[in-house]
Amino acid sequence: MKKVLKWVSNITSWVLIAVFVVMIFMVVSSKASGGEPNFYGYQLKSVLSGSMEPTFDTGSIIAVDPTIDKQKLKKGDIITFKENAETLITHRIIEVKNSGNHVQYITKGDNNDGADLEPVLAENVVAKYEGFTIPFVGYFMNFANSKIGTAILLVIPGILLIIYSVFTIWKSIKEIDIPKKEETSSSN
């Protein structure tokens, strides 16, 4: 029974430490990149609407490449673009229009009935979707990027580690005290 408890204790310790390290990585990465975490040169974006279902579900995270040539995208590419200063949208290109030195993309969400009302200027394209999606993690990432989420995700694992450390130290001291009490009672 003691071996099982020790095994469970070790696993719990490593899980708490891993969660704490992942949370620190996510929070620091998102703050350093200005809001979205970066992973091997790709940005991770949260999908907050169902306009691209079934390609990716609401609440997913997607990997996008911000280093693409914005002038050379083609029909069928999925791009993330600025609708305005605060809003990013990820939709599929359904038509490419060249007019002089300017390139415009007509986009549409896979789940939408019609094309987006305004064409997207190549200058407003932020990144291209690279085919990597993790369902439902976007809800968590969106929460982690909020001020409350950042505080909770850094503080709670830290508090849990401290509580677990105190419990482990108390348990170790208690185990040391038991042999000492047996020594004192046997010497009398």
The one catalytic residue among 9, 29, 46, 49 = 49
Strands 125-134 and 78-82, sheet pairing: antiparallel
The Cα–Cα gap between 17 and 120 comes to 44
Q: Is 172 a catalytic residue?
A: no
The order of strands in the sheet holding 38-39 is 38-39, 42-46, 61-65, 125-134, 78-82, 88-99, 102-108, 120-121
- What amino acid positions are annotated as catalytic residues? 49
